[in-house]
């Protein structure tokens, strides 16, 4: 009997691929760059499972092209805004993601960006490398203090919570906004539930951890930057389009806020001639927040396990649309 077939749209850890290959014929897209839309549509035809990335758009066209035998979409990421979930659910296709294993690694990365932006690490490192470190000067490279400052978290989900918890070593006051109030966290850690406007008005550091949706697209734009403090530092390790990048450029270049640390941009990759890249007070890294060896290995294994389970018709480890099992 022939094995079921799966398309894996990028290289993942070998042990994960080996595990999949025990029971499934794998078509592995080995290029560094994503398959073009046409190639993706061609390759997905007739597969039983798809292991994909946030750079692959999984919509009704793709599911139609794959065919009715498609049993699972397994995403190697926690976010899944590239996948049309209602459409997958309508077709009874479970979609898996890789939550939890990347929470701590991503929270670390948000802090790396926060500290780098606050203390002008990118700018001053560039100065060292380009021979512009000429002397110690009392007025050079002055940044923002993190200790004793106020941290505003937008989106108190798994990652937001861990970012907030890390602030205790810096003696920070934590404000948070979310659709859900977390009185347990307020009691245990002293976090304060506020509205978004209060986050913008009172925070010295703002860290974005909400999902990207129609409601959060350009959530932070000209008006919001206008309310922020002049010393504010904004960090985004969630999704680029949550921040209006033109408004961010204006706020940073006019220094109505102090700095930004971005793991994500809009679009990705950010074009090399994007005005944000001309700014010394904007630290930008290439969407690497979950990129530790351990975490990416675990993400590979979970996405492989979800793919295998889905193809076998078993419940996924981490389904994002569990209603398909009702």
What residues are labeled active site?
239, 268, 287
Q: Total residues at the site for ligand GLV (CB under 6 A)?
A: 6
Q: State how far the Cα of 304 lies from the Cα of 193, in Å rounded to an integer.
A: 38
Q: Nearer Cβ to ligand GLV, position 78 or 235?
A: 78
Q: Could you write out the DSSP letters of every residue in 83-152? A: B-HHHHHHTT--EE---STTHHHHHHHHHHHHHHHHTTHHHHHHHHHTT------TTSS-----TT-EEE
Smallest gap from Cβ 235 to ligand GLV, in A, equals 14
DSSP 3-state of 308: helix
Angstrom distance (rounded) from CA 166 to CA 110: 10
Smallest CA-to-CA distance from 238 within 53, 103, 56, 76 is with 103
Does the footprint of ligand GLV cover residue 185 (CB under 6 A)? no
Q: Report the nearest approach of ligand GLV to the CB of residue 128 (Å).
A: 30
Residues 49-68 that bind ligand GLV (CB under 6 A): 54
9 is a contact residue toward ligand GLV (CB under 6 A): no
Q: Which of 9, 290, 300, 318 binds ligand GLV (CB under 6 A)?
A: 290
Per-residue tokens: 255: 């220094």
**Using CB under 6 A, which of 77, 93, 113, 260 touches ligand GLV?**
77
Q: What share of the chain is helix, strand, coil (3-state, %, to 5)?
A: 40, 15, 45
- Residue 78 lies near ligand GLV (rule: CB under 6 A): yes
Binders of ligand GLV in range 89-118 (CB under 6 A): 102
Residue nearest to ligand GLV (CB): 79
List the one residue from 17, 28, 65, 79 that touches ligand GLV (CB under 6 A): 79
Nearer to ligand GLV, 55 or 221 (CB): 55
SS3 call for 14: helix
Q: Which residues bind ligand GLV (CB under 6 A)?
A: 54, 77-79, 102, 290
């Amino acid at each position: 009997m022939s094995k079921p077939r799966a398309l894996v749209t990028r290289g993942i850890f070998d042990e994960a691929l080996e595990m999949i290959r025990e029971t499934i014929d794998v078509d592995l897209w080995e290029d560094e760059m994503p398959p073009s839309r046409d190639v993706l549509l061609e390759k997905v035809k007739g597969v039983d499972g798809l292991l994909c990335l946030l750079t692959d758009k999984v919509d009704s066209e793709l599911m139609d092209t794959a065919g009715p035998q498609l049993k699972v979409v397994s995403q190697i990421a926690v976010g899944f805004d590239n996948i049309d979930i209602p459409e997958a659910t309508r077709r009874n296709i479970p979609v898996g993601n890789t939550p939890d294993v990347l929470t701590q690694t991503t929270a670390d990365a948000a802090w790396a960006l926060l500290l780098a932006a606050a203390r002008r690490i990118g700018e001053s490192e560039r100065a060292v490398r380009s021979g512009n470190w000429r002397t110690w000067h009392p007025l050079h490279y002055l940044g923002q203090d993190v200790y004793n400052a106020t941290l505003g978290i937008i989106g108190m989900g798994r990652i937001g919570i861990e970012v907030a918890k890390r602030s205790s070593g810096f003696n920070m006051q934590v404000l948070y906004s979310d659709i859900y109030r977390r009185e347990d966290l307020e009691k245990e850690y002293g976090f304060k539930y506020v509205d978004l406007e209060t986050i913008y008005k009172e925070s010295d550091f703002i860290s974005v951890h909400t999902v990207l949706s129609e409601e959060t697209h350009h959530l932070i734009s000209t008006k919001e930057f206008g309310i922020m403090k002049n010393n504010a530092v904004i960090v985004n390790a969630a999704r680029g389009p949550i921040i209006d990048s033109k408004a961010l450029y204006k706020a940073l270049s006019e220094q109505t806020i102090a700095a930004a640390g971005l793991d994500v941009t809009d679009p990705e990759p950010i074009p090399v001639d994007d005005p944000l890249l001309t700014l010394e007070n904007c630290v930008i890294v290439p969407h690497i927040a979950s990129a530790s060896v351990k975490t990416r290995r675990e993400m590979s294994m979970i996405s492989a396990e979800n793919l295998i389970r889905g193809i076998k018709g078993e419940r996924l480890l981490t389904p994002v649309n569990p209603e398909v099992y009702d």
